[in-house]
Amino acid sequence: MPSSPIRKLVPFAEKAIAEGKKVYHLNIGQPDIETPSIALDAVRNFDLNVLEYSHSAGFQSYREKLAGYYQKHQITLDANQIIVTTGGSEALMFAMGSIADPGDEIIIPEPFYANYNAFSIASGATVVPVPSSIENNFALPPISEFEKLITTKTKAILICNPGNPTGYLYSLDELEILADICIRHDLFLLADEVYREFAYDGHQHHSILTIERLQEHAVVIDSVSKRYSMCGARIGCLISKNKAFMQTAMKFAQARLSPPTLEQVAAEAAIGTPDSYFKAVNEEYTMRRNLLVNGLQKIEGVKVAKPNGAFYCMAALPIDDAEVFAQWLLESFDDQGETVMVAPAGGFYATPGSGKNEVRIAYVLEKTALKRAVEILEKAIPIYQKQMVLS
C-alpha cells in the first residue's frame, strides 16, 4: 500500500509544532467552514437507549431523503439505488471490489485523488493512467488517449468531478464523450462527485446520472464530508441504476454490517440545510481561490492551474523535488516562527516521475491565514533554490 502524500508528512508537522512553530495546513481538504447547526443539533437531541445497527444499505429514511436531494439536481432515483457507506472512501472500495477481479484495469485521468491508487491495490486492480497537463489546466485528455489503453482487462473509467487535486470541472460535452467510450466498450463509468456543490464563475456541475443512455454503466460516489463540512462524520454513498452492480455492492455492505448510526442521523438532518448556506460557502471559496491563484502567479517561476471547482489547485514550483521541499519547509524553514505544509503531487500520479516539482494546495484557510501562507511560500522558495545550488 502506498503512503498518503497528504498525511505522510504529519510527523514532521507535529515536530515543528512541538518546537513552537505555527504551521499553516495547506495539505489537506479539511474545510474550516462551520458544519450546519441542523446536523449537530440532530445528534444532540437524538433520543435512544440502544445504539443499534442500521440496515446494511443505511437507514431507509435517510436514503429516501437522499433521493429527494438528488431530485433537486435533476437526478431521479429511488432508495434501493443508494447504499450508504462509511465515507466516500468505502463507496470507492465497494465499487472497485464489485467491478474488478485481481489483474483487471481501471483507467483514470491523472493527476487523481491519491487514495485511488490505494483502493485499487486493495481490490487487486491496476490503475492505468491517462496523463493530463498543467499546461492546459488539466483538461480531459483526447478520446484517442483513452481508447488506445482499453484492453480485455479494462473494466472502468474513473473520474473525479470536480477534481481533486486539480479542481478541474468536466463539461457536459466531455461527459458525453466518456459516456460514448464506456457504452462502446461496455465499461463502467465511475464518477466521484463529492465536490458537486463547489463550482465557480457561473460554471455548472453535471452528474453522469443525468445521461440517460449511461444508466447501466454509471456509478456515482458521493459524501457529506465536504458538502456540509462534516469530514469526521464518515458518511458517503454509492449510487447506480445497474441492479447487478448494486446486488454485488450490497454483499460488501453486508460484510461490514452497517454504516455508523449517529453519523447517519447527522447526515439525514443535514439534507435540510438551506441553499443560502451553499451560496455563502461558494462565495467564500471563490474569494479564497482568487487570492491563492493570484498570489501564486506573482511568485517567480511558479505555474498554477486555475480551478473551476472543489477547493484545491495544483502548482508547479521552481524546485527539484516537491517532497524534499515539503519536508524542508517543516524541518528547516520558518519565517518569524511560521511555516506551511503542502502536499507533494507525486502521490497523485501513477506514472513514475510525474508531478515531481508540483504540489497540491487546499484553499481551506480563511483569508488572512491563506494570504500569510502564500507570503511564506514566496519567501521560502528562493532560499530553498539557493540550497539546491549549493548542494
For 163-184, what is the mean pLDDT?
A: 96
Number of domains the chain contains: 2
Residues 265 and 297 in one domain: no
Residues 118 and 207 in one domain: yes
Q: What's the pLDDT band for 143 if we cut at 50, 70, 90?
A: confident
Query: What is the CATH number for 146?
Result: 3.40.640.10
Answer for the pair 324, 318: CB distance below 8 angstroms, yes or no.
no
Residue type, 307: P
For 74-89, what is the mean pLDDT?
A: 97
Query: What is the CATH number for 22?
Result: 3.90.1150.10
Helix segments in the chain, DSSP class H: 10-18, 37-44, 60-71, 87-99, 115-123, 143-147, 172-185, 243-255, 261-270, 275-297, 322-331, 367-390
Higher pLDDT, 2 or 383: 383
Digit-coded pLDDT (tens) for 276-315: 999 999 999 999 999 999 999 999 999 999 999 999 999 9
| Ramachandran assignment for 201, one of left (phi > 0), alpha (psi -120 to 50 degrees), beta (any other) | left
Residue 171 lies in a domain: yes
Query: What integer pLDDT is reported at residue 289 of this predicted model?
Result: 97
Residues 62 and 165 in one domain: yes
Residues 239 and 359 in one domain: no
Residues 45 and 78 in one domain: yes
Residues 27 and 49 in one domain: no
Residues 216 and 315 in one domain: no
Residue 4 lies in a domain: no
Residue 286 lies in a domain: yes
Whole-number CA gyration radius for the chain = 21
Picking from 225, 245, 270, the residue at the C-terminal end of a domain is 270
Eight-class DSSP state of 231: G
Picking from 237, 270, 303, the residue at the C-terminal end of a domain is 270
Q: What's the pLDDT band for 391 if we cut at 50, 70, 90?
A: low
Q: What's the pLDDT band for 36 if we cut at 50, 70, 90?
A: very high
Residues 74 and 17 in one domain: no
Residue 89 lies in a domain: yes
Numbers of helices and strands, H then E, in the chain: 12, 13
CA 27 – CA 359 distance, rounded (Å): 9
Specify burial of residue 314 (Cβ count, 10 A radius: 0-12, 13-18, 19+).
Answer: buried
Residue 375 lies in a domain: yes
Residues 49 and 166 in one domain: yes
Query: What integer pLDDT is reported at residue 8 of this predicted model?
Result: 82
Picking from 218, 250, 270, the residue at the C-terminal end of a domain is 270
CA 241 – CA 81 distance, rounded (Å): 6
Residues 262 and 297 in one domain: no
- Asked whether the predicted pLDDT for residue 6 surpasses 80, the reply is no
Residues 89 and 134 in one domain: yes
Q: Which pTM value belongs to this model? A: 0.95
Residues 121 and 66 in one domain: yes
Answer for the pair 100, 106: CB distance below 8 angstroms, yes or no.
yes
For 329-360, the DSSP string reads HHHT--BTTEEEE-EEGGGG-SSTTTTTTEEE
Residue 360 lies in a domain: yes
Q: Tell me which residue range forms the domain holding 327.
A: 10-34+276-390
State the first-to-last Cα distance of the chain, in angstroms, to the nearest integer.
32
- Asked whether the predicted pLDDT for residue 3 surpasses 90, the reply is no
Residue 129 lies in a domain: yes
429516501: which residue's cell?
Answer: 64
- Asked whether the predicted pLDDT for residue 316 surpasses 80, the reply is yes
499546461: which residue's cell?
Answer: 135
In this structure, what C-alpha cell is assigned to residue 188? 463502467
**188-192: strand order across its sheet:** 82-85, 236-240, 218-223, 188-192, 154-160, 105-110, 126-131
